[in-house]
Amino acid sequence: MLAFEHQFATLPEPLWVACQPTPVEAPRLIAFNQPLADALGLGEAPEDASLAEWFSGNALPPGAEPKALGYAGHQFGNFVPQLGDGRALLLGEVVDHDGVRRDIQLKGSGRTPFSRGGDGRSPLGPVLREYLVSEAMAAMGVPTTRALAAVASGERVIRQMAEPGAVLTRVAASHVRVGTFQFVAARQDHTTLKALADFVIERHYPEAQQAEQPYLALLEAVLQRQAALVAQWMGVGFIHGVMNTDNMSIAGETIDYGPCAFMEQFDPQKVYSSIDQGKRYAFSNQPLIAQWNLARFAECLLPLLEGEQEARVSRLTEVLRGFDDVFAAEQQRIHADKLGLDAKDDQASRLMAALEAQMQRGRMDMTATFDALTQLARAPGDTSRQALLALSATPEALAPWVDEWQAHQVASQQEQRWQVMRQANPLIIPRNHRVEEAIQAANDGDLAPFYRLLAAVTTPYTATADTRELGQPANEQQQVLRTFCGT
- Are the C-beta atoms of residues 453 and 471 closer than 8 Å to each other? no
Handedness of CA 416, 420, 424, 425 (dihedral sign): positive
Beta bridge partners of 101: 95
What phi and psi values does residue 368 have, to the nearest 5 degrees?
-65, -35
Contacts of 157 by beta carbon, 8 Å cutoff, 6+ apart: 119, 121, 122, 123, 163, 164, 165
CB 205 within 8 A of CB 277: no
Q: What is the DSSP string of 249-283?
A: BTTS-B---SS-EE--B--TT---BTT-TT-TT-G
Nearest to 463 by CA among 342, 366, 378: 378
The answer to whether 238 touches 262, Cβ cutoff 8 Å, is yes
Contacts of 472 (CB under 8 A, 6+ apart): 368, 431
Longest dimension (CA), the chain: 67
Instruction: Return d(Cα 334, Cα 338) in angstroms, integer.
Output: 6
Query: Do residues 101 and 206 lie in contact, with contact meaning Cβ atoms separated by under 8 Å?
Result: no
Cβ contacts of 58 within 8 Å, gap of 6 or more: 21, 23, 24, 27, 52
Contact predicate 73/244, CB 8 Å? yes
Q: For the chain, what percentages of helix, strand and coil (3-state, to nearest 5) are there?
A: 45, 15, 40
Please pick, among 246, 276, 345, 365, the residue that the annotation labels catalytic. Answer: 246
Please state, in angstroms and rounded to a whole number, the distance separating the CA atoms of residues 95 and 3.
Answer: 8
Triad 451, 453, 457: Cα angle to 5°? 120
| Residue 124 near residue 152, CB atoms below 8 Å | yes
Asked if 246 is an active-site residue, the reply is yes
Rounded Cα distance between 223 and 201, Å, is 14
CA–CA distance, 191 with 186 (Å, rounded to integer)? 13
Is-cis flag, bond preceding 27, omega within 30? no
Between CA 426 and CA 236 the distance in angstroms is 8
Distances (CA, A) of 342 to 118, 313, 369, 379, 418: 51, 39, 20, 19, 12
Q: Looking at the annotation, which residues are catalytic?
A: 246
